[in-house]
Amino acid sequence: MDTPADPELNDQMGGELTALRSVVREPMDHVECFPAPPSCRRVTFTTDEVTSMCPVTGQPDWSTVAITYEPDQRCVESKSLKLFLWSFRDQQIFAEALAAAIAAEIHRAAGPHRTTVVVTQHVRGGIVTEATAELP
């Protein structure tokens, strides 16, 4: 296991950043968080590297995901988010359910004031699907 880039910071957080302080070679089923800076009002993550599988055909789906949340006490750590998104790679899931699942995990882990997740499934069969999940 690698040591954390900032061991003191990890100690301040009770050792909660397990993904950040180790070499991880597999998906994670959750995201990890750290204390939000007092002046942080909005955080946005965007990636176009999310894959899943169509629940009907089993074909691969490629999606762009934009996650925006308004932190309360905690912020989402990005490496754990990347590993969490990787967990959908072999899951058969509709774009709408994918957006809802990501929003639910962000909301569960970080407890933000508001969470919005937009999943834009790339063209397949000439159709682009965009699904938005919002949690207060």
**Annotated active-site residue in 2, 11, 29, 61:** 61
**Residue that has been written with the tokens 């999310």 in this structure:** 50
Q: What gap in Å lies between CA 124 and CA 54, rounded to an integer?
A: 11
Mark whether 72 is an active-site residue. Answer: no
**Annotated active-site residue in 2, 11, 48, 54:** 54
Mark whether 61 is an active-site residue. Answer: yes
Longest dimension (CA), the chain: 51
Catalytic residues: 54, 61
